[in-house]
Amino acid sequence: MPNEGHSKRVTAFTIVMARAKGLSSDQIRVIARGAFLHDIGKMAIPDAILRKPGPLTPEEVSIMREHCYHGYQIVKKIPFLAEASEIVYSQPGKMGRHRLSSRPAWRTNSARVAHLFRCRYARRHHSDRPYRPAQSLDAAKEEIKRFAGRQFDPEVVETFLTMPDHIWDDLRKEIDNQIYKFGASLGG
């Protein structure tokens, strides 16, 4: 299910990486929008699959993978989000049966940056899933290295591995604190 805190963290992580990769301000705006909306297509996935406490069946995995396409279909209809819709859709290795036409290299690279962080975040922080416990940062880094060139763009992995370890936890804490302050100011 889409989660604002998760979306904000993935967006912030993606922006940090996009800056490190030297993308322009305009490109970063597009990637930030796409990263924030990356899970919007989960609205089209049945709750029974989204909330399932155990491993998904192969059929359920197939349905779940379609969330990228559903998100793309939702976001592409909004004119100022049209470019970001391709980032919402792009999850290398997980695109289901739908394919997009060719797109500029920077958008493909932006999607690859966002994809790494969606996966990195899920592997590191989704400890509430009984079928996949959270990993340490070192374990997540090792897994990302192992999949460089297959699931993750090798250049994106290389940039990620050069970033100081503390940046990710510091950024997560800052975003979580902002979310907490906002909720507290609303009386929550």
Residues shown for the chain: 188
* Nearest CA-CA partner of 18 in 143, 144, 147, 107: 107
| Residues 45/74, Cβ–Cβ less than 8 Å | no
Give the pLDDT confidence of 80-99 residue by residue, as tens digits: 999 898 888 875 544 334 44
Amino acid at 181: K
For the domain 4-185, what is the CATH code?
1.10.3210.10
Q: Model-level pTM?
A: 0.72
* Nearest CA-CA partner of 88 in 34, 45, 130: 34
Confidence of residue 181 (pLDDT cuts 50, 70, 90): low
Max CA-CA distance within the chain? 47
Give the pLDDT confidence of 46-69 residue by residue, as tens digits: 999 998 988 889 999 899 989 989
